Amino acid sequence: MEIKFVSGLADVIAAQTEISSVDGKRGVLRYRGYGIEDLADNSSFEEVCYLLLYGKLPTKAQLNGFKNKLKKEQKLSKPVQDFIKGSPKTSNPMDVLRTAVSIIGVYAKKETLVDSSVRLIAKVPIIITAFGRVIQNKKILQPKPKLSIAGNFLYMLNGKVSKLEEEIFDVCLILHAEHGMNASTFSARVAASTRTDIYSAITAAIATLKGPRHGGANEKVLEMVKEIKTEKNVESYIMKRLKKKVRIMGFGHRVYRIKDPRAYILEERSKELARKTKSNFYDILKKVEKIMEREVGHKGIWPNVDFFSGSVYNSLKIPPKLFTPIFALGRVPGWCAHLLEEYQPANRIMRPKAIYIGPKQRKYIPISKR
């Protein structure tokens, strides 16, 4: 039965998965059956990584063993360090991250997919913060064994981290860990369906996530808030752009037709931090949300995961250039879980069709006659 062309593969089922479920109508997101709200309130990013990779919540012993494996991988080889230190400070950090992962792949020994996944989950935050220090002309810091991935990220970037900052950033990573067949995960699965290696597939995912329609939106939302400056400018700023059909970053989603459940959780953190840092970013965002609801809510265009995340990261003193790499850092366990699924023998190479709409058959004309 010929399936007709659907722009953007909207609603096309590309895989069967046990990893997460995304209910766009009711705004429900579950990882291996656990609600995202439950995990954000009670779990940790390391525990969620274990859940995504192994399909169940770990016992205390299993979690400690997993954390020890991660800690053993929290260093970068000399080729990767030299590359990061030698990258131009003006480079896009997503290009640096993508290339650093490729270098790790060049030196990778034969290992299980789970071991490669642990290696990537451990190394990606080190790559990002190392480059973060390079662009701030600061010495690269080493991780502290006592800190979590979230805590170490903020410590290695800013030289210090509070318990509250670690807790909030840990929730951000949990919220970004997995989201079904989004573009970057699909990209990774297409690569894995050819049985290429995991580092090539993750490189494809990072390259895909970089795009402003996908992971790149969080940085653009913060740029918008800074351009708006105060609440009283919001109405004219938004209406002008809507009139010109300019997309408002942080809004809209292919699956969610109501507010992204992750946006509610990030909104709370954004409000809490805005109060602590006396920033008006949260108030501006809420005003933008109100106007967008009035103007386009009926079209199913609501805040997505990127709408509040930038204001949270800004309050955590993370440079905007690192916002999209943070999305990648959070998503590594989700990508790896999907690759473990895609490499199952029953999965075939992904090879959709295209409907030819070009010129009808033509005869070759010698160049002298053209």
Q: Which one from 176, 179, 260, 306 is the annotated catalytic residue?
A: 306
Min separation Cβ 145 and ligand SDX, Å: 31
| Binding residue (CB under 6 A) for ligand SDX from 182, 208, 311, 314 | 182
Biggest CA–CA distance in the chain, Å, is: 78
CA distance 170 to 179: 17
Q: Which residue has the tokens 């291996």?
A: 32
Task: Give CA–CA dist 229/231, Å, rounded.
Answer: 7
Chain length of the chain: 370
Residue 304 contacts residue 298 (beta carbons within 8 Å): no
Nearer to ligand SDX (CB atom), residue 34 or residue 108: 34
DSSP type of residue 368: G
Strand partners, 28: 23
Is residue 82 among the annotated active site residues?
no
Pick from 31, 155, 251, 335: which binds ligand SDX (CB under 6 A)? 251
Cα distance between residue 329 and residue 130, in whole Å:
13
305 DSSP assignment = T
Residue 252 binding ligand SDX, by CB under 6 A:
yes
Binding mask 136-175 for ligand SDX (x = CB under 6 A): ----------------------------------------
Q: Cα separations (Å) of 324 from 171, 176, 198, 258, 300?
A: 16, 11, 21, 23, 25
Which range of residues in 41-49, 150-158, 188-196, 209-217 is near ligand SDX by CB under 6 A? 209-217
**Pick the catalytic residue: 170, 253, 260, 338?**
253
In angstroms, what is the minimal distance from the CB of 252 to ligand SDX?
2
| Nearest-angstrom CA–CA distance, 114 and 62 | 14
- The mark string for 328-347 relative to ligand SDX (x by CB under 6 A, - otherwise) is --------------------
- 243/299 with CB nearer ligand SDX: 299
Question: Binding of ligand SDX at residue 213 (CB under 6 A)?
Answer: yes
Tell me whether residue 253 is one of the annotated catalytic residues: yes
Query: What amino acid positions are annotated as catalytic residues?
Result: 253, 306
In the complex, which residues of this chain contact ligand SDX (CB under 6 A)? 8, 179, 182, 213-214, 217, 245, 247-254, 296, 299, 301, 304-306
